[in-house]
A and B are shown apart, each in its own frame.
Chain A
Amino acid sequence: MFARVCGAIVIAAAVVSEVALAQPADRTEPGAGAPPPAPAAPAAAEPAPAATPLPEPAAAPPVEPRFVWQPFGYLRAQYIAVQNDPNVAFVGRDDGFELQNARLGVRGALDRRVAFEIAIDGAVDERLQVNSTEGKLRVGLRDAFADVTLAGRLTARGGFFQAVFDPEALVSDTARELVDHPIESRGMRATEGYQTPGLPPGRSIGVALRLDPAPQGGGLPVGFELAVQNGADEFSSNNDNDKPAISAAVVARLPRDGWVMAAGRFNPRTVGALPFRQDENDLQASAAFRLAAGPVAFNGGVIVQRTSFPTTGGPIQNAYGGHVQAMLAIPAPLPLAAGYRFAILDPSSLITTDRVMEHTVGAVLAMPRYRMRVQLQLTHVVEQAARELENDRVQLAAELAL
């Protein structure tokens, strides 16, 4: 394993140095010399990628068309090497290249009044069963919603979207500093450990009332979202019962692309096959921040979940997860940053051996001219003694943004 980690570092170093040598610093590019910034807008809508130059502002066209639209997307691939656990055969035996995602979308607006966004993920990893070592790539709907401006920054949203709850969703994939989301958000993937879902809810069909926070200096930098969604499993075409999931979130914009947020969600779910179904209620809360202090960017978040079982009267199940992260911008010809993240996930208080912690170090290098980023990440995974695995991993990822 050590040799593989070293090999991956060498490969990463070679790639980074080659790219750096090939591209002299271009101080005119936005973001050059700085670590990939946090999103400008603390909302699920995707901000401009850190390494992607913003479209040149048009030279005041004489007449703005009624309908404007813009494609967006990115391609992310990684090489991942996971230790082969000596006891658990499905952990670590599939080192190799993976397509993390291939997203393509379009967003547009009509008369600055009605906006929409439709995006698809072209590399959803589908497993036939939990912990399966064999996955298939398939195409899945990512977002499909429309926003109608009600008044000022107040909008109504309807469609298939992710309510503001997961702090990680506030950071664009193309602005995320490390290869992976923290474990409380993404969960443990198959073959990297004992597969476990993350805590945030997935996307769902519903409606929302939203107030985007104003940009710094442009008014009250506080926004909110009240959402009513089906709350069924992600990709479900309908609700799982007669009851909607309700969520509320508050987001405040801070200087230097910082932000702080808090959210809550109540989702009464129903599981099982008709007519033998059972009700389970999820009450969730999340809080997160992102701050910049000099060359260091800090972020952290926590998600807690309380699940009750009214049908069975089973004991309350609590779950929590969170992370803290610090990234240091390193002076270099190209935007470069390195940092550390600690993350923890305890999926169930009813199971005393399922807590997982991750210590992650990583670096990210942006190449704005080519809309590319390269990321390297090493993760030391710590399970509880009863489920201890040898499953540390190293990941080298490359990203191309449209």
Chain B
Amino acid sequence: MRRACGWIAIVALAVLAGCGDPAPHARAQRIGALDEAIGGPHAIGRVGDFLLENDQIRLVIADTGVDPRDPSKSTLGRVNSTFGGTLVDADLRRPGGDGARGNDQLAELLPGFVFTVINPTTIAITHDGSDGRAAEVTVTGTPADLFQEIYLLDAGLVGTTSLQLTQTYRLTPGKRYVEIETTIKNTSGGAHPFPFLDPTQLHDLGFDIPGIENIQLSVPMGQLALLGGEQDLFAPGVTGFNVRFAIEDSYQIAGGFPAFPGLVVDYVASRGRGVSYGLTIPRSPDNYVNAYAGKYAGQAITPYSMLVPFTYAGVAAIYMVRPPPLLAPGAEFAYTSYFVIGKGDVASVADAIHEIHGAPTGTFGGRVIDQQTSQPVAGANVIALDADDHIVDQIETDASGAFLAHLPPGSYRYTAMIDDRLSTPPAPLTITAGGHAGIAPIEMAAPATLVVEVRDELGRHAPAKIQLLGHFPATNLGQNPRSFLYSLQRGEHQRTTAFDGGDRFIEGVWWTKDGQLSAAVRPGTYDLIVTRGPEYEVAHRTVELRAGAFTAAQIALTRAYASDGWVASDLHIHAQPSTDSDVPLATRAASCAAEGLEVAIATDHNAITDYGPAIASSGLDPWLLGITGMELTTPEMGHFNGYPLRLDPGSTRGGEFRWAGEPPQRLFDTLRGLAVDPERAIVQVNHPRQSVLGYLAQFFVDVDTAEPYTPTGILGVFAPYGDEFRPENFSLDFDAMELVCGKQIEDAHTFRAPDPLPPGPYPDPQPVPG
């Protein structure tokens, strides 16, 4: 019996073993090896940058990018904006340790004093976290312009001299958010007013802006968030995921200056694949929106309100505070914000934000299952709505269909949504502080399954584009499809409608690498459209898709005309390496092949990309040739493709180059220097007349003379001022210019090709795939 007792004791010890969990930690360090960085589709952290991490999250703050010993080796522009010292990578801590592949999708987060940013002089680890407390990295610098074109705003509102700007990233153990403390210090001997200049001073400086004397402006400060192309922006309330249009709507009810127009939000969050981000602020007497509350009538204002005046190409300005009217000599003004990292949905961000605000909450949890099979529905969105049907939260189900969120006390309704199923009818929900509102499983109707097999004229499983076109009721003709076909607020994807004003809309589109598709879709009657670029006829048939049932279709593609001697190519393509794209390389390769391209030139923003591995692993070698290239992207001088380029696998951007402060000729030379063969490299000017982003537009190239000129008047006021923009620096040393750009798709969708084609420039048979 004593022996039995001994065994029982051993069992008890085994059970109790490991019960003493260590305290969470935080630490700051410089990255000494690349495998210490975060990794992921948009990760650009590298050796020398600053890593800030705890047991929950990991962040990278870029180094200054300036080599003090040899300024010519500086890497200004390595991050997405001009200067270093910004938060460039952020991810959850992934199980598996430092060697695990990360999932950074953040492009960049940087402080914004209107549009003034920090040009860092020093970046330092101010607390390494070894004492068990918060770890800190502090960036200190001077004011600089994010965009030269609006220098006037920076100079007039903030003042670009005699200020020391500091941003401290403070990470506490156990938290999924980093506290950001931003400080402005007046280093001059006199008081520093905000706005720095009054309108009459601008006139005295020679800026001739009609009516400026009647404009009173304020000085919003906050953060500029480039959350990345994979993140859907969200704000609770009437906005939901419909941020873009909500901002437009807010302009209609703007109260006027000195308050900047824009959307008032309680917090900002996002949704992405496996990681999401958010921004919020604490209560503050300096709150910008509350300071001008009367100017934002019609919008919900809370103690945490922030202003989002615009979002464009994944960039959102988020203004939080206004500084005091006068900053005394040596005085400081500081504000705090919090950057939160979630697991891919809004709820995991909002949970942390409620914690930051100290708001009472209760939990809302449950499970989403398939009505037919009882199996979990992973990736479904459970949307919490308030009494006014405004979206409060978006919770994504995990692999087991489970979801959990924290909501403030109140009465809500919830619905479950996912692209391939019908949404569930809203059901009531009550949250009490500290309570658990668990619900019975939400049963979603089963999707239909569409199975398609496509063969080309030779009987091969050819890459093909497969679309399902639906038809909405005639009673909705003429209405905005956002009002009846899909809800951007609730995060549904846009179902594109026909240009011709008809009743067709795209329910789903798939680019297949081998013409084979098995996809879950919403039940209904659709037109099944199969295409393979302009060289093939459009195949069409009607399909009825029933819930829980499989519907199969075999499609044979017919070649429309011979294209011997010609090569189908796209010379301007973006994919995941671009900060504003969420398309993985394999998907992009498949889409190129399915659209009938034979040559695809990778031109990601400031990232040299090679489609080759994706093409090879997808088995697309017989169809598609990839050419390595890049779109050298400047904020204000234009976008320039270069190809074929060499890929440097040791660089986080595929190669080392600098664009900031460089005149056009240097940019062209840079591209040629990166080329496989500089003598035969192609330098291409993209969307040349697009304002801000177009080369010809930024150099004011006259449409009649094709010569650049120095603008005057209001154009001259809002023009880049750097020497690199002087007219004499304009260069024609490029090889190609883009005439039609995919962004203006309405200009391109009625293309025509001569039949038959004239003799092509390439020998027959073609030395290309396909």
Tell me if chain B binds chain A: yes
- List chain A residues, Cβ under 8 A from B373: 130-131, 194-195
A209–B398 alpha-carbon span in the complex (Å): 37
Interface contact A278-B365, CB-CB below 8 Å: yes
- Asked whether, in the complex, the Cβ of A276 is within 8 Å of the Cβ of B443, the reply is no
Does chain B have a CB within 8 A of A24? Answer: no
Selected contact of B343 from candidates A209, A276, A350, CB within 8 Å: A276
Assess the B548–A194 pair: CB atoms within 8 A: no
Indicate whether A314 sits within 8 Å of B375 (C-beta atoms), given known contacts A88-B548, A89-B550, A150-B4: no
Residues of chain A within 8 A of B437, CB atoms compared: 313
Q: Flag whether A348 is at the interface (Cβ < 8 A).
A: yes
Please tell me if the beta carbons of A351 and B19 are within 8 angstroms of each other in the complex: no
Q: For the complex, what is the distance from the CA of A311 to the CA of B438, rounded to whole Å?
A: 9
Contact A351-B11, Cβ < 8 Å, known A271-B400, A276-B343:
no
User: How many angstroms between the C-alpha atoms of A196 and B373 in the bound complex?
Assistant: 8
* Chain B 517-555 residues near chain A, CB threshold 8 A: 548-550
Check A207 against B3 for contact (C-beta < 8 Å).
no
Q: Is A87 an interface residue (CB 8 A)?
A: yes
A311 lies within 8 A of B365 (CB): yes
Residues of A contacting B: mostly: loop
Task: Tell me if A354 counts as interface (CB < 8 A to partner B).
Answer: yes
Evaluate contact between B7 and A351: CB separation under 8 angstroms: no
Contacts A130-B373, A194-B374, A312-B438: A271 and B402 contacting too (C-beta < 8 A)? yes
Which residues from chain B contact A271 at a C-beta distance below 8 Å?
A: 398, 400, 402
Q: B366 contacts which of A131, A194, A314 (Cβ < 8 Å)? A: A314
Evaluate contact between A209 and B19: CB separation under 8 angstroms.
no
Q: Are A87 and B438 in contact (CB under 8 A)?
A: no
Residues in B neighbouring A156, C-beta threshold 8 A: 4, 7
Chain B residues with CB under 8 A of A195: 373, 375
Of the candidates B15, B363, B435, the one whose C-beta lies within 8 Å of that of A311 is B363
Tell me what chain B mostly uses at the interface: helix, strand, loop, or mixed. mixed
Per-residue interface assignment for chain B, residues 1 to 30, with 1 indicating a CB less than 8 Å from any chain A CB and 0 otherwise: 101100110110011001100000000000
- The yes or no answer to A315 lying at the interface (CB within 8 A) is yes
Interface contact tally, CB-CB below 8 A: 105
- From 132 to 188 in chain A, residues with beta carbon under 8 angstroms from any chain B beta carbon are 148, 150-151, 154, 156
Taking the closest CB of chain A, its distance from the CB of B642, in whole angstroms, is: 41
Bound-state Cα–Cα, A311 to B363, Å: 8
Tell whether A272 is near chain B: CB-to-CB under 8 Å. Answer: yes
On whether the beta carbons of A312 and B11 are closer than 8 Å, the reply is no
In this complex, the member of B95, B176, B398 whose beta carbon has the largest number of chain A beta carbons within 10 angstroms is B398
Contact A242:B365 (CB < 8 A) given known A276-B348, A351-B374: no
List B contacts of A148 (CB < 8 A): 7
Q: Is A3 an interface residue (CB 8 A)?
A: no
- Whether the Cβ atoms of A87 and B398 lie closer than 8 Å is no
Residues in chain A near residue B367, CB distance under 8 A: 314
Residue among A88, A196, A242, A278 making CB contact with B18, cutoff 8 Å: A242
Cα-based distance from A77 to B1 in the complex (angstroms): 46
From the candidates A87, A194, A272, A312, name the one contacting B363 in the complex (CB within 8 A): A312
- Tell me the nearest residue of chain A to B92, going by C-beta: A275
Bound-state CA distance A274–B93 (Å) is 9
Q: Which of B11, B374, B399 contacts A347 (CB 8 A)?
A: B374
Given the complex, which residues of B lie within 8 Å of A315, measured CB to CB? 438-440
Q: Which residues of B contact A338 (CB under 8 A)?
A: none
Closest to A90 in B: B550
B110 is an interface residue with CB less than 8 A from chain A:
no
Closest to A308 in B: B438
B592 at the interface (CB under 8 A from A): no
Q: B347: nearest residue on chain A (CB-CB)?
A: A276
Q: Which residue of A lies closest to B7 (CB)?
A: A156
Give the residue of A273, A309, A347, A354 whose beta carbon is less than 8 angstroms from that of B398. Answer: A273
Q: Does A244 interact with chain B (Cβ within 8 Å)?
A: yes
How many angstroms between the C-alpha atoms of A315 and B19 in the bound complex?
Answer: 29
- The distance in angstroms between the C-alpha atoms of A150 and B6, with both chains bound, is 10
Is the CB–CB distance between A309 and B438 below 8 Å?
Answer: yes
Q: Is the CB of A276 within 8 A of B374?
A: no
Query: A312 to B436, Cβ gap below 8 A?
Result: yes
B374 in contact with A209 (CB, 8 Å)? no
Check if A75 is an interface residue, CB within 8 A of chain B: no
Chain A residues near B176 (CB-CB < 8 A): 275
Q: Does the CB pair B404–A274 fall under 8 Å?
A: no
Write out the residue numbers on chain A whose beta carbons fall within 8 Å of the beta carbon of B435: 313
Shortest distance from the beta carbon of A90 to any chain B beta carbon, whole Å: 8
Decide yes or no: A272 and B402 within 8 Å by CB, A194-B374, A309-B438 being known contacts.
yes
B15:A272 contact, CB within 8 angstroms: no
Q: Given A89-B550, A311-B404, A315-B438, are A228 and B4 neighbors across the interface (CB < 8 Å)?
A: no
B335–chain A nearest beta-carbon distance, Å: 29
Contact A309 B365 (CB under 8 A): yes
Q: Which of B11, B19, B549 contacts A87 (CB 8 A)?
A: B549
- On whether the beta carbons of B11 and A209 are closer than 8 Å, the reply is yes
Asked if residues B374 and A314 are in contact (CB atoms below 8 Å), the reply is no
Interface residues of B in 359-400 (CB under 8 A from A): 363-367, 369, 372-375, 398-400
CB contact list, A109-141 vs B, under 8 A: 130-131
A369 close to chain B: CB less than 8 A? no
A4 in contact (CB, < 8 A): no
Interface-centre pick from A89, A131, A354 (highest chain B CB count, 10 A): A89
Check: B441 CB closer than 8 A to any chain A CB.
yes
Contact of B549 among A89, A196, A387 (CB under 8 A): A89
Q: Assuming the A-B contacts A130-B375, A309-B365, are A351 and B4 also in contact, with contact meaning beta carbons closer than 8 angstroms in the complex?
A: no
Q: Is the CB of A314 within 8 A of B4?
A: no
Q: Are B365 and A312 in contact (CB under 8 A)?
A: yes
Cβ contacts under 8 Å, A89 to chain B? 449, 549-550
CA distance A387 to B4 in the complex (A): 52
B80 at the binding interface (Cβ < 8 Å): no
Cross-chain contact B438 with A351 (CB below 8 angstroms): no
| Cβ–Cβ contact A150 & B7, under 8 A | yes
| Residues in B whose Cβ lies below 8 Å from that of A131 | 373, 375
Could you say which of B11, B19, B375, B404 contacts A278, with CB atoms under 8 Å apart? B404
Q: Is B3 a contact of A314 with CB atoms below 8 Å? A: no
CB 8 Å contact bits of A254-286 with B (1 = contact, 0 = none):
000000000000000001111110100000000
**Known: A151-B3, A207-B14. Is A312-B366 also a contact (CB below 8 A)?**
yes
- Given A195-B373, A315-B438, 19 extra CB contacts under 8 A: A89-B550, A150-B4, A150-B7, A151-B1, A194-B374, A195-B375, A207-B10, A209-B8, A244-B15, A272-B402, A273-B399, A275-B56, A278-B404, A311-B365, A312-B366, A313-B436, A348-B374, A351-B441, A354-B374
The 10 closest A-B pairs by CB, nearest first: A313-B436, A312-B365, A314-B438, A313-B438, A312-B438, A89-B550, A350-B440, A156-B7, A194-B373, A130-B375
Residues of A in contact with B (beta carbons under 8 Å apart)? 87-89, 130-131, 148, 150-151, 154, 156, 194-196, 207, 209, 228, 242, 244, 271-276, 278, 309-315, 347-348, 350-351, 354, 387
Q: Can you list 15 A-B contacts (CB < 8 A)? A: A88-B548, A228-B11, A228-B14, A228-B15, A273-B343, A276-B348, A276-B404, A278-B402, A310-B436, A311-B363, A312-B366, A314-B436, A350-B440, A351-B441, A351-B443
